[in-house]
Structure 1
Amino acid sequence: MFKILVGLRRSCCSSVKSRIENRANCISRIWFGPLPKDSQWIKPGRLHYLENDVEKQVDIIKTMNGVVVLLYNKSREKLIFVRQLRGAVYQGIYSAGSSEMSKGEANLEKFPPEIGVTLELCGGAVDKDKSLAEIAKEEVLEECGYEVTTESLKHVYDYRSGIGTSSSAMTLYYCEVCDDQKVSEGGGVDTEKIQVLEMSVEESRKLVQTGAITNGGPSCLMGLLWFFLNKAPNLST
């Protein structure tokens, strides 16, 4: 399976002839460790409840809510994506077939870092005391380099990122931009290393065709399906 995922980079950069604006980051080492008790991103716990007088329990993880933005550049008729290493994805592939959490040094020859690199829509955590639209606007600027207004962000969906062990509230926006709004290369802030990737409408359509494989979350697929149902038919008019 991970051999297919390693090939995603080639399919994004060669087969569909897409353009990556930020150079790929070189990851030379990966290792696994325990979750610190003071993690600001994840809080594990156990929920107990009675159902028909039967006591039940489920292990849960509290995570932050998030916003996601599907960006379409009208100047070049391109959809805009981001790529970055996601540790949870890498660990999921690395430890597939085992119920234990991975520990120690990762074998990068057998499991290259590329298997954990995802294809996603622009977005981020709701970790500021601001409106969802304001946070989404900041993410568009930080990750993709476009200056947009909150009024240009069309609200599409509110949904849950997962309903098994975690259940973050997610908000999806759609936003159309043009080249004049490009004010930086993006790529994230602080230590983030985010690659910006553009695909044509037809290239992007391949991502939601039957049998397609994408190494990202459902937000990307949901956004694309909405786009092809509601926006793509009108682009040529």
Structure 2
Amino acid sequence: MFKYLIARASRHLSTNVCQSAPLSDITKVWFTPLPKDAKWVAPLQMHYIENGMKKDRDIVKIFNGVMVVLFNVSRQKLIYVRQFRPAVYHGLITGNSFEMPKGCIDLVKYPPEIAVTLEPCAGVAELNKSPQESARDEILEECGYDVPTESLQLIYQYRSGVGASSAAQTLFYCEVCDEQKVNAGGGVHDEVIEVVDLSIEEAKEYVKTGATVSGGPSTLLATLWFLSNKA
């Protein structure tokens, strides 16, 4: 089963939509238990009584997020980002097993490129900012466009990962032009992000029925919304 998953991911990454040089040089991968002072997630257990029966459910608290369907009207291109996702890598090499991989991972057998995703511009919803302000910051940091918050159109507010995490997500639509491009993008701090432009036809091909999408539900949601409402 693992070989099938790896082969399928590798085939998908070789398509024209995702084809590109490696994002970075990942030379060593290993896994450890989550420390108590983890920065981005907090596991906990909820206990409750429903219809007279005591129930326990595992929950992983994560930050709320913002995402943007970004469309360059100058070039008629949808703008996405590519990045290596450790959680996707872990999921691909472990399948449906909870057993933690031991030792260093064989990077020849499991090349990091299998976990490079294509996603809409996105990030954490900052506690001291509105969702629009957080989205504007992400557009500038990841994709290099400087846009006013007024240009962000609200599409959806919803919950992701409702079985375990249920973070609030806010999805926006924003049109940009070449004149608003002020830097190359690529993220900040230790982020390694590549900006990818897709034509409308490439986007249609990417989300066609039966496709294997190298990204989360937000990639499908954002792309299908655009194709249904703007294309």
Superposition TM-score tier, normalisation by shorter sequence: over 0.9
Distance 1:45 1:193 in 2: 30
Number of equivalent positions: 227
Matches for 1:47-196 after TM superposition, within 5 Å: 47-196=46-195
Distance 2:10 2:176 in 1: 31
Contact 2:66 2:170 in 1 (8 A): yes
Distance 1:19 1:156 in 2: 29
Contact 1:128 1:135 in 2 (8 A): no
Contact 2:82 2:117 in 1 (8 A): yes
TM-score, reference length from structure 2: 0.94
CA root-mean-square deviation: 1.6
Is 2:45 the counterpart of 1:41?
A: no
Contact 1:141 1:147 in 2 (8 A): yes
Q: Secondary structure at the match of 1:160?
A: strand
Contact 2:13 2:214 in 1 (8 A): no
TM-score, reference length from structure 1: 0.91
Shift of 1:128: 4.0
Distance 1:221 1:103 in 2: 34
AA paired with 1:39?
A
Is 2:12 the counterpart of 1:8?
A: yes
Distance 1:108 1:37 in 2: 28
| 1:63-100 Cα deviation digits (max 9, x unpaired) | 00000001000111110110111111110111114232
Shift of 1:5: 1.2
Distance 1:61 1:178 in 2: 39
Distance 1:190 1:217 in 2: 23
| 1:200-229 Cα deviation digits (max 9, x unpaired) | 000001122111111211011111111111
Contact 2:13 2:114 in 1 (8 A): no
> Residue 200 of structure 2 corresponds to which residue in structure 1?
201
Distance 2:150 2:139 in 1: 14
Distance 2:74 2:22 in 1: 23
The alignment-based identity, stated in percent, is 51
Distance 1:88 1:60 in 2: 17
**Structure 1: runs of 5 or more not aligned:** 233-237
Shift of 1:23: 6.9
Matches for 1:223-234 after TM superposition, within 5 Å: 223-232=222-231
Distance 1:129 1:148 in 2: 19
Contact 2:117 2:215 in 1 (8 A): yes
Distance 1:60 1:128 in 2: 21
Displaced runs of 4 or more, over 6 A: none
Distance 2:176 2:163 in 1: 36
Shift of 1:177: 0.5
Contact 2:13 2:19 in 1 (8 A): no
Shift of 1:127: 3.2
Distance 1:2 1:23, change over 3 A: closer
